[in-house]
Amino acid sequence: MARNKKQRLFSALLSLALHRIRPPTSSRATDTAVTESTPHPSSLHHHGNSSHQSMAEKLAAGRTLVLDVDDGLLLPSSSSPFPYFMLVALEAGGYIRGLVLLLLYPIILCIGGDSDAAVRMMAMAAFCGLRAGPFLAGRAVLPKWLMEDVAAEGLETMRMSGGRRVCVARKMPRLMVEGFLREYLGAESVVGKEMKVLWGFYTGLMEEEDKVMLEEKIMLEGNDAVGFSGSLEFLQHPLSRCCKNVYLVTKDEKATWQALPRSRYPKALVFHDGRLAFRPTAGSTIAMFTWLPFGVALGAARLAVALTVPYRYSTPIRAASGMSWRLKVKAGDRPTLLLGGDGERGRRRGQLYVCNHRTLIDPVYISVALDRPVRAVSYSLSRFSDLLSPIGRTVRLARDRDVDACIMGRLLDSGDLLVVSPEGTTCREPYLLRFSPLFAELSDDVVPVGLATETGMFYATTAGGLKFLDSLYYMVNPRMCYTVQFLERVSTSAVRERKVTSADVANLVQRKMGDALGYGCTMFNRKDKYRLLAGNDGKCSIAPAATIDLTTT
C-alpha cells in the first residue's frame, strides 16, 4: 500500500510538471495533500485566447469571481508593496516613521522585497503604535495610487463577472485596500490579513486568517467559483482551493498589460488627501528626505521675497528659484482690460473675479497677473495663513447667504477687485466642483479665471491634516508653476432682471471654465469632499460677521 501511494504521488507530481504548475508546499507529503489541497490540473488554465473566452462564458453565467489583487488586478510594476506601506507611514504616522521604514529598506531587500517576512516587517514599521479606528489613509490617500496601478486587463476580467466579486489581498492587510476595492471597483467582499489591535492601538502584527475568509470559504464551498491570478502563489491561498477553475496569466502576457486610463475609471476619482504628490518608491523617498533641509531654507527665502519685494521684482526672483507662473489670455486681450473699478472709467463698483479653487494662494497669483491688489473672501482660513498673505487680510464669510451677500456687496461698492471661489473648497484633480450661485447675484458681470497648479513633491492642500501649513508646503516644492487664464466676461444682469436663475448662470460659468481648462464638471460640493476624506462636513469656527474688517489694505 505504501508503494502504491508513492507511485500515485509521483504520477501526480509528473502531471503537474507537464502542465507547468507548481503544487503548493505542504507538511504532509501524502496522497490526500496532493489531490485535495491542490486544484486538479484539468481545472487550471493559462490565460490564452481560448481560456479567456471560456472564463468569460463562466463569469457571464453568474459564477463568483475570486480575484487576486496583487497579481491579477495590479500592474507587474507594482508587485512590491513598499510604496503603499510608505504612504501609510508618512501620511498616517509622520516623517520620522517614514524615515524608519526607509532605513529598513536594505534589510527588506535582503529578505525579499515582496516576501511574507518583508511584508510583515513593513507592516510593523508602518502600523505599530498607530491609533486604531477609522483608517482614513485607506479611504482618502491610498485609492489614488492604487487606481493608477490598476491594469486595464485586470479590471476587464473583474467587469466580466456577473456574480459576486471576491478580492483577495495576499500581501497588504485588508484595511489598506478594502475602501478602494469596495468604493471604486465594486467588490462585494475583500479578504486579507487583519492588523492586530491592543489597547486601542495597532501592534503592527498581522493575523493569518480572519472572519471574512472563513465566511467566504463557507459560501464558496457549494458555489462554482472561478479564480483569476498571475502568480502560482495564489494556488496556496485557502480560497483558491474552493474554486472549480483557476485561470493563470503568464509573465509574458502580464508584461503587455497597460495602466488603466482615467477615462475608463469605473468611478471618477475626484477627491483624495495626503501631502505627497509622487509615488514614494525607495529612490523617490530618499530624494525627498535629501531635499527637505534645502527645501525648508529655500521656502523661507521665497516667502521673505514674496512678503517684502513688489510683484514686478519678486516674480522673476522667485521664478529663478523654481517658483514660476504662466498667464494665458486670448490674442490681443490683456488682463488690464478685464479690470473693474479704476480699470474702466465711469464704473462705480469693483470687478468680481470668479475662479476655481486649487490652493489658498489662488488670489495671490490673480493679483500678480493683474498687477493690482485684490480682496479675497474665504469661508475658513487660519490666522497663520492670513499673516503670510502678501495681499493683505482675507475677508471671512459666515456661511449665511444673506450675510455673505452683504459682505461681498459692500466690498464691490467700495470699488475693490474681489476674488471669489464658488467651489467653496479646493480640488486637486482635473474636475470642477459645483459652483455656488451666490456670485451671480452680486454684480452685472463677472470675469471667470481658470487656475491650474503643477507641483512635483508636495500638495499644498489637505482635508485631514494641518491646514495652516498649506502655503508652506507649496513653498518647499523644488519646482512648481501656477497657470492663470482669464476668460471672456460673462454678463449676469439677466439674474437681477429675473430672466434666468442664478444657478443657471453658475452652471454656465462652470462649463466655460471646465472647457477652457479641460476639466470635468461635477455636482460634488464641500460636504461631499470632507465626508469622504475626513469624516466630517468641513465646518470650522470662523470670526463672527459683525467683527469682520472691511477696510481696504
Distances (CA, A) of 148 to 78, 152, 250, 274, 439: 10, 10, 22, 16, 36
The structural domains of the chain, with segments of one domain joined by +, span 38-264, 282-547
- Tell me the C-alpha distance between 108 and 92, whole Å: 21
Band (pLDDT 50/70/90 cuts) for residue 310 is confident
Residue 415 Ramachandran class (φ > 0 left, ψ -120 to 50 alpha, else beta): left
CATH architecture of 38-264: 3-Layer(aba) Sandwich (3.40)
Residue 62 Ramachandran class (φ > 0 left, ψ -120 to 50 alpha, else beta): left
Q: Which residue has the higher pLDDT, 93 or 24?
A: 93
Mean pLDDT of 249-270: 91
Helix extents (H) in 396-501: 401-413, 470-476, 493-496
Residue 249: name the closest of 513, 423, 73 by CA.
Answer: 73
Q: Which residue has the higher pLDDT, 289 or 64?
A: 289
For 400, the grid coordinates are 449665511
Single-letter residue type at 8: R
Residue 363: name the closest of 321, 398, 323, 394 by CA.
Answer: 394
Band (pLDDT 50/70/90 cuts) for residue 339 is low
441, 498 contact by CB (below 8 A): no
pLDDT digits (tens, 9 = 90+) for 194-253: 899 999 899 999 887 666 677 777 677 667 788 898 888 888 888 888 888 888 888 888
Phi/psi at 135 (5° precision)? -85, 90
393, 381 contact by CB (below 8 A): no
Q: Which residues contact 109 (CB under 8 A, 6 or more apart)?
A: none
Res 332 pLDDT > 80? no
Distances (CA, A) of 87 to 84, 325, 519: 5, 29, 27
Angle value at C-alpha 186, between 181 and 188, nearest 5 degrees:
85
The fraction of the chain above a pLDDT of 70, given in percent, is 78
Helix (H, G, I), strand (E, B) or coil at 265: coil
- Tell me the C-alpha distance between 90 and 96, whole Å: 8
Q: What is the pLDDT of residue 48?
A: 62
Q: Which residue has the higher pLDDT, 13 or 499?
A: 499
Res 380 pLDDT > 90? no
428, 360 contact by CB (below 8 A): no
Helix (H, G, I), strand (E, B) or coil at 128: coil
For 221, the grid coordinates are 464551498
23-37, 39-53, 360-374, 422-436: range with lowest mean pLDDT = 23-37
DSSP state at residue 114: T
Q: What share of the chain is helix, strand, coil (3-state, %, to 5)?
A: 50, 15, 35
Phi/psi at 527 (5° precision)? -60, -40
Mean pLDDT of 159-176: 88
Mean pLDDT of 22-29: 34
Neighbours of 458 (CB within 10 A): 24
- Please provide the average confidence, as pLDDT, over all residues in the chain: 82
pLDDT digits (tens, 9 = 90+) for 399-440: 788 888 898 889 898 888 999 999 989 999 999 999 999 999
CA quadruple 111, 113, 116, 120: dihedral sign: positive
Band (pLDDT 50/70/90 cuts) for residue 22 is very low
Residue 260 Ramachandran class (φ > 0 left, ψ -120 to 50 alpha, else beta): beta
69, 170 contact by CB (below 8 A): yes
Burial class (CB in 10 A: 0-12, 13-18, 19+), 529: buried
How many CA atoms are closer than 13 Å to the CA of 56, on its beta-carbon side? 13
411, 417 contact by CB (below 8 A): no
Residue 154: name the closest of 42, 266, 12, 313 by CA.
Answer: 266
Neighbours of 251 (CB within 10 A): 9
Band (pLDDT 50/70/90 cuts) for residue 509 is very high
- Tell me the C-alpha distance between 404 and 401, whole Å: 5
Band (pLDDT 50/70/90 cuts) for residue 160 is confident
Residue 393: name the closest of 381, 408, 402, 405 by CA.
Answer: 381
Beta pairing partners, 9: none
Res 28 pLDDT > 70? no
202, 130 contact by CB (below 8 A): yes
196, 203 contact by CB (below 8 A): yes
461, 428 contact by CB (below 8 A): yes
